[in-house]
Amino acid sequence: MNMPHRDFGWKYDLPTPNATLNPHADLKHAPPINHADNNYIELPRSIFKIRGVWAFSGIIVFSTITAVVALLATSGLTLSKSDLKPAAITISSIAFMLYITTPYIRMDINHPRDTPIRFNRHRRKVYFYEYKFDRLHPLGRENWGIKPVVYDWDDLTAEVYSIHAPMGYGGIIEKVMVSIRKPGTDEVVDRLFFADDIEKGKQYWAIVTLFMQEGLEALPEFSSPPTDWIKEPSNPFERRAPKVQWPAEMDLESRTAP
């Protein structure tokens, strides 16, 4: 078979769902999980490092546009024709910046605090609480919002990505993605975010693989519950984020055995 398509920055794949696990893997200090029982395990997942940055930037951009428009309105009678062109360019540039940042502002406000993933051992299914967004249509409705999806465990591949970002000091962006292949082929039908750190992604993948292969008894005792379960987050954008609400049928299916 041909190599499945990989996105830019791909480095390597993690072990397949049915691969033999490393018996020496230390998972006692793995990142906390949301839930685990005999039927399913749920992992937390968030795309945000610091939530609210884009919303705060949007407020600055919107305030700048308002101030520039107000200034032009009050001085419009005294502006010469030669002044109008640079003024129009300035407004257009700021408006374009607002258009570019609007999808991220909207995600800062509307994205759930958590977008968990459930791995059901008995059904051999994986349920993603997926939040869809569309950068090209920042004010649209059709391609925005919670759209949970479910895939077969055996069709998943965990992919490690590492990209050198142009941050001026050689910054590196790391992440682990999960691709889903069409059964019996190498055609990738979907690719979903899994973790924002390679080490965390590797530990989470080892945990769910161990659970899906051997069950709850094989898991270690985790050192602590998720931080947000101990106390409310200090970030106001996190506190006001929508709560997770699975569709009723999927919620029941993902938590139970056949």
Q: Give me the residue spans of the domains in the chain.
A: 10-47+113-255, 54-110
pLDDT tens digits, residue range 165-223? 665 545 778 899 999 998 888 889 999 999 988 999 999 999 999 999 999 988 877 66
Q: How confident is the model at residue 76 (pLDDT cuts 50, 70, 90)?
A: low
The reported pLDDT for the residue numbered 145 is 85
- 9 in the Ramachandran plot: left (φ > 0), alpha (ψ -120 to 50) or beta? left
Is the model's pLDDT at 232 over the cut of 60? yes
User: pTM score, two decimals?
Assistant: 0.80
Query: Whole-angstrom Cα distance, residue 201 to residue 185?
Result: 25
Taking the C-alpha atoms of 181, 184, 185 and 188 in order, what is their torsion angle to the nearest 10 degrees? -10
Q: Quick one: average pLDDT of 135-140?
A: 75
Query: Whole-angstrom Cα distance, residue 109 to residue 48?
Result: 12
Of the ranges 22-31, 36-45, 98-107, 137-146, which one carries the lowest mean pLDDT score?
Answer: 22-31
Residues 6 or more apart whose CB falls under 8 angstroms from that of 195 comprise 45, 175, 176, 201, 204
